[in-house]
Chain A
């Protein structure tokens, strides 16, 4: 895979025409999104430019410590972002942090160990970013659902505890539904990939002039890796977070 593409700032600027079109539609239809479109455009430019330079430096340095450092930062910010979407789960940060770290480490470790990718910055940084990003979304969705389900199923869970079931046994149906909702989005989009939408990596490679067969193979590897990472993240996050709803005496904690 030696393809590359060189784009000038002028070409990027030209694409702003579509941003102007979006703002014009918002103004015309009174959708009141012009300001948000402006902020989104500026933020995407600043953030992507910054991370582009950071990645360039890491690629040039080519030391794995810098790669691990960047991935660790992604895991922490991913856990913080996911926590803000799982407000009904007390103490969600640690389960999320552990889930993202395990999902990232396991997935990257496996693809390297199986010889799919070389352990270099050029592969680990972009693949790690995708893995952690998807794991973050899945675990946030799973914990959000867990919070809702624990509140809705409170009577049933306590009635099960009253029979002498452990917290794990009483929460099992709830945890299962939460895990499922964390995974289902990616499973569904994987089913329809190539039919209804073209995934980003494949589009990027095709645009960069890669052989379509290579583009498809890389995309498949990434999709399969993401399925694994999403499952691990949702499993670990729900498997740790449900405990926060119970006391050590297998009682339901009061909701605030």
Chain B
């Protein structure tokens, strides 16, 4: 299994964000679906140790996540957050930074192309990009690390339908071309149908179903 969650709970302040969540996530494309505030993003953040559970265990390729060095793990399991948050500078400097952290040589043009951006974007100041372009630059930056797994938190929530379709096409293309696993958080079951072949449904901090797309979403 790519990831396995066993009785995972997490509390923030007074709120129990995740409550005894058990689920498996296989290699391939998985969508974590559920309404807003269900705990989807928190669950995603557990997968590359941006947060740790209060109780329960998360395993990655049959090894407890707690035994991974968080920095090395994050360079293999890249998370692209819901809202773009690039570093000041150009698109290229962001890609260089990410690649350097992962000890990789970056092919800027290829990463931009995979994320659906022209090579002319490399020299652009990130402050002058639209939200959709920033989101793509975030994706390109994650790809610069050549990760084995991409974690995407609502990658199209800030976009209009045309930009959403373009990002979805990019993600489908990515899977075909790079054969990397993708775990995607979405509040939209239709998006899960379009992009995933495995679904984890979360409601009120609990995983109420996990399995193949057809079985969970019908």
Contact = CB atoms under 8 A, between A and B. Distances in A.
Interface residues of B, number: 30
B101 A165 contact: yes
Interface string B62-83: 0000000011111100111101
Contacts of B74: 161-164
**Main SS class of interface, B:** mixed
B88 interface: yes
A158 interface: yes
A173 B85 contact: no
B151 to A, nearest CB: 8
Nearest to B75: A164
Nearest to B98: A163
Contacts of A164: 71-75, 101-102, 145
B12 A249 contact: no
Interface in A110-164: 155-156, 158-164
A84 interface: no
Given A155-B85, A163-B101, A254 B138 contact: no
Interface in A163-195: 163-166, 169, 173
Contact of B81 (A155, A169, A173, A254): A155
A160 B79 CA distance: 10
Interface residues of A, number: 18
Given A249-B52, A250-B70, A251-B52, A162 B13 contact: no
A156 B87 contact: yes
Contacts of B48: 162
A162 B78 contact: yes
Nearest to A155: B85
A155 B51 contact: no
A249 B88 CA distance: 25
B49 A251 contact: yes
A161 B79 CA distance: 9
Nearest to A162: B79
B145 A254 contact: no
Given A249-B70, A251-B70, A159 B78 contact: no
Contacts of A254: 12-13
B25 to A, nearest CB: 18
Contacts of B80: 162
Contact of A163 (B52, B78, B88): B78
Contact of B49 (A159, A165, A249): A249
Nearest to B49: A249
Nearest to A166: B71
B149 to A, nearest CB: 12
Nearest to B84: A159
Q: What are the nearest 10 A-B pairs in CB distance?
A: A164-B75, A159-B85, A164-B74, A156-B85, A162-B79, A155-B85, A164-B71, A163-B98, A164-B101, A249-B70
Interface of B: 12-13, 48-52, 70-75, 78-81, 83, 85-88, 97-98, 101-102, 138, 141-142, 145
Interface of A: 155-156, 158-166, 169, 173, 249-252, 254
